[in-house]
Structure 1
Amino acid sequence: MDAHGQELKKELGAALDARRELGPEYEAALVDSFVEKVDTQVRRRLAEERLSAARGGGSPQAPAEGNFGERFGFAIVTLVLAIPLSAIAAAQAHLSGLLVAWAGIVGVNFIHASKSLRRRD
């Protein structure tokens, strides 16, 4: 795992610890804060990759390939967010909450993938 991944793992641990200490009434604020940090990391990483490709450090993406970095980043963000969302949903509504949370995660990824494929055509 690289430095970015380690940093996000520490942030997630801190958010989960804070949730335990503060209680469920602060869950939404903690999740929002973590989402912002993940979003910032993904944007920073994509900017670094674009800069590297522009400088010749990497191969520029062909237009036919679509934006792999965006799709990959989106998938990573949804998987990282699936952990606290699953915990919250299971704690609040048990199996039914967990199923609804994962249906939402799958649905969001499906919609994003279908939009990416339409843009590519």
Structure 2
Amino acid sequence: MTHEQDLGHGDIEAALATRRELGARYDAELVDGFAERIERTVERRVSEQVALQQRRTSDDSGGRVRQFALGVISLGVGVPVTIVPMVATDNGLPAVMVAWLGIVGVNAAHAAAVNGTRRRDH
């Protein structure tokens, strides 16, 4: 059902005009038809709300999984990035610090993006 078919003031007026034309003997049919349209409209709106809530829940859990995966990968990359400069050079501390600042920056940017998207959706 499209939004143009939603129940509105015009629908009520049309039902009343039909009743005036047909008389009281068709009241039950008019009421039943109108009630069915109301039920369809309510069901459609409820299903839209349920679908929206499911998308939000799915997006939230997907963002947390991606953030966790990025953290694990960052630690896996961080170990060699720490060991190689420290072993290969006399003073590898500046290189290690720059590498870890980059890793932290990437993780922080991703977390901010995930949290920003979650806030906009709610």
- TM class, shorter-length: 0.3 to 0.5
Q: If the length of structure 1 is used for normalisation, what is the TM-score?
A: 0.44
